[in-house]
């Protein structure tokens, strides 16, 4: 039995019900791991998720109200818009409760334990704050208070349960806690799954060789080309990488409309079975997409004069800032989740993916979280 602590940034990266989280559910139900969640991690996650959802609903509501201001007379269209505004108001009021309920459901599935912070330890947190040690990047760095509280909660937990594996991605926090007695840090859930006893429990060598091999990746590429909506719905709003290829400074870069037709170099790694019918893995592939971004008019004119670039402008405001877009070749990376209606062999999985009619036997979901521009397309 391994004691596991998940940090807030891992919850942000994974989400509560990703394929890898489902593997963690399996490990917990088989008593291979016990999961601990510091109370401050719970609070941070819920607060951020509520804020993100509230902001998104608020943006929708603002846009709907803008529509209403442009409709003068009474009409079915206006009544429908008013109804949508009322629905967004109702949604806004239920966000907090919905997020809290979802988190509690996740805790129950994991049979996780919430770790409360011992108020007595606030003296240790303050000592670290003034000295700049532990989870603090430097002296009096106030933003690190939550990490420090998590740090001391974990140290207190070690004294109660013994050795703990802490899964976190924050570099400064990791440096502060690494080297503490009976604390082992891991970068991701994938690193947890590679620990010998856990890997032996979830391993399926024959299936892994197939899923990570060229036969499956070619079949999956063809499947995604035919089931176009799976690829077409991918939208990357934050963290578009390698924008330096544009040769100018872009603002609010986002990728939309990836092409199923031009999928290439699809790769599968870190394959794991969740059950006899469910599987998850990391996936990457290349395809063309439309890059939308904002820049100044002078930069737009500079690019427009380059005959090797095809750039278009949607609009320009009074300050000369332009909404621009152009086609790019992009490397997408994330997670793939496959679910079959019944246990399958390698042979039947291959037949399903190659069939143009039997798509109801499999469900494929992509969770793409990063994208990097590979080249500009002319």
Q: In 3-state terms, what secondary structure has residue 345?
A: coil
DSSP per position, 127-192: HHHHHT-TT-SSTT-GGGHHHHHHHHHHHHHHHHH--EEEE---HHHHHHHTT-TTEEEESSHHHH
321-350, pLDDT tens digit by residue? 999 999 999 999 999 999 988 877 788 887
pLDDT: which is higher, 152 or 306 = 306
pLDDT-derived band at 134 (thresholds 50, 70, 90) equals low
Which superfamily does 2-200 belong to?
5'-nuclease (3.40.50.1010)
Of 165, 202, 235, nearest to 30 by C-alpha is 202
d(CA 356, CA 280): 23
Q: Domain limits of the chain? A: 2-200, 204-376
Stretch 89-115: mean pLDDT, rounded? Answer: 94
Q: What is the CB-side half-sphere exposure of residue 196 using CA atoms within 13 A?
A: 0
Query: What per-residue confidence (pLDDT) applies to 148?
Result: 72
Stretch 186-204: mean pLDDT, rounded? Answer: 88
Residue 158 neighbours by CB under 8 Å, 6+ apart:
164, 180, 181, 182, 183
Query: What per-residue confidence (pLDDT) applies to 232?
Result: 94
Indicate if the pLDDT at residue 140 is higher than 80.
no
Indicate if the pLDDT at residue 138 is higher than 60.
no
**Helix 39-69 crosses helix 145-161 at what angle (to 10 degrees)?**
140
Query: What per-residue confidence (pLDDT) applies to 5?
Result: 94
Length of the chain: 378
Query: What per-residue confidence (pLDDT) applies to 133?
Result: 59
Q: What pairing do the DSSP bridges indicate for beta strands 311-316 and 264-273?
A: unpaired
Query: What per-residue confidence (pLDDT) applies to 341?
Result: 85
C-alpha to C-alpha distances, 255 to 59, 88, 116, 195, 328, nearest whole angstrom? 20, 26, 41, 36, 9
Please report, rounded to a whole number, the percentage of residues in the chain having pLDDT higher than 90.
Answer: 48
């Amino acid at each position: 039995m391994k004691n596991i602590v998940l940090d807030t940034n891992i919850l942000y990266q994974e989400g509560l019900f990703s394929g890898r989280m489902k593997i963690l559910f399996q490990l917990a139900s088989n008593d291979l791991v016990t999961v601990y969640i510091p109370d401050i991690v719970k609070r941070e996650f819920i607060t951020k998720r509520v804020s993100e959802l509230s902001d998104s609903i608020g943006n929708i509501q603002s846009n709907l109200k803008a529509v209403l201001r442009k409709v003068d007379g009474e009409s079915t269209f206006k009544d429908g818009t008013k109804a949508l505004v009322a629905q967004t108001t109702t949604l806004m009021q239920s966000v907090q409760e919905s997020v809290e309920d979802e988190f509690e459901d996740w805790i129950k599935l994991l049979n996780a334990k919430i770790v409360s912070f011992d108020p007595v330890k606030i003296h240790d947190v303050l000592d670290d704050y003034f000295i700049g040690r532990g989870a603090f990047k430097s002296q009096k760095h106030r933003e690190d208070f939550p990490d420090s509280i998590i740090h001391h909660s974990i140290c207190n937990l070690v004294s109660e349960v013994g050795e703990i594996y802490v899964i976190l991605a924050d570099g400064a926090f990791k440096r502060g806690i690494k080297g503490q007695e009976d604390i082992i840090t891991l970068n991701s859930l994938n690193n947890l799954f590679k620990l010998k006893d856990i890997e032996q429990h979830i391993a399926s060598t024959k299936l892994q060789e197939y899923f990570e091999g060229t036969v499956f990746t070619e079949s999956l590429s063809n499947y995604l080309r035919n089931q176009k909506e799976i690829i077409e719905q991918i939208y990357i709003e934050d963290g578009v990488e390698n924008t330096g290829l544009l040769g100018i400074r872009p603002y609010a870069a986002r990728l939309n409309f990836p092409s199923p037709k031009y999928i290439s170099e699809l790769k599968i790694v870190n394959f794991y079975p969740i059950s006899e019918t469910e599987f998850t893995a990391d996936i990457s592939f290349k395809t063309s997409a439309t890059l939308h971004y904002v820049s100044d008019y002078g930069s737009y004119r500079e690019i427009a004069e380059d005959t090797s670039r095809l750039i278009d402008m949607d609009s320009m405001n009074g300050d000369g800032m332009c909404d621009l877009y152009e086609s790019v070749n992009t490397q997408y990376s994330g997670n793939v989740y496959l679910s079959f209606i019944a246990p399958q062999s390698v042979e039947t999985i291959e037949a399903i993916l190659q069939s143009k009619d039997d798509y109801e036997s499999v469900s494929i979901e992509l969770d793409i979280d990063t994208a990097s521009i590979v080249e500009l397309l002319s």
